[in-house]
A and B are shown apart, each in its own frame.
Chain A
Amino acid sequence: KQEVTQIPAALSVPEGENLVLNCSFTDSAIYNLQWFRQDPGKGLTSLLLIQSSQREQTSGRLNASLDKSSGRSTLYIAASQPGDSATYLCAANINTGNQFYFGTGTSLTVIP
């Protein structure tokens, strides 16, 4: 079974700071990895999907990288804003099944 870990569980930063969220997975036979954002009491919103053949994906102020050999993905948020405050989850999909394995998330607070 794929184990997905996100550290830290919570992070607080001042507005304007650049930050990195971490995601690690145990099975390097990964098909793709997806980053989501979840606001309190809401569903998940997809941010970026990185296929195994890709090293990174970018969308606006967000950049996600994937390193299969080390079992790591990072989500870089540039110039953070209070509206970025949310829980960020990563989910890894391995080749053998039609299933994503989710981390428990990092709760981000951006302080104005």
Chain B
Amino acid sequence: NAGVTQTPKFQVLKTGQSMTLQCAQDMNHNSMYWYRQDPGMGLRLIYYSASEGTTDKGEVPNGYNVSRLNKREFSLRLESAAPSQTSVYFCASSWAGSTDTQYFGPGTRLTVL
């Protein structure tokens, strides 16, 4: 089992460019999450998908969109990147939402110039 995988590992964008961060899990989990981690801020939830076909906003959704493509895959899209979106992005999954252990991917380090 690969667990939770994320691509790419690193990315540099210019302001205004768009990109999609990919996440996949092979644990047959129902719930998936996108977080960002910034120094001194802790991890903050961007969007989550409690189950296939549903998505909901988290604490900091502005500037992002998500797609739950199927049970395995959950993508995060930046339509027009801004320097404030420079961060490390983590995808996570769990069997039964937040009542259950969350498993994290290795992260994507994004820099917006």
Q: Measured between C-beta atoms, what is the minimum distance from B11 to chain A in Å? A: 15
| Contact between chains at A98 and B97 (CB < 8 Å) | yes
Contact A32 B103 (CB under 8 A): no
Please tell me which one of the listed residues A31, A44, A49, A99 contacts residue B104 in the complex, with CB atoms under 8 A apart: A44
Q: How far is the CB of A73 from chain B (nearest CB, A)?
A: 15
Would you give the shortest CB distance from A3 to chain B, in whole angstroms?
10
Is A102 at the interface (CB under 8 A from chain B)? Answer: yes
B26 within 8 A of A: no
Q: 20 pairs across A/B with beta carbons < 8 Å?
A: A1-B59, A31-B99, A42-B106, A43-B4, A43-B90, A44-B43, A44-B92, A49-B101, A93-B98, A98-B98, A99-B45, A99-B48, A99-B58, A99-B98, A100-B43, A100-B45, A102-B44, A104-B41, A104-B42, A105-B42
Task: List B residues at the A interface (Cβ < 8 Å).
Answer: 4, 31, 40-45, 48, 50, 56, 58-59, 90, 92, 97-107
Contact, CB under 8 Å: A102 / B56: no
Interface of A is mostly: strand
Q: Which B residues are CB-close (under 8 A) to A51?
A: 99
Most buried by A among B31, B41, B102: B102
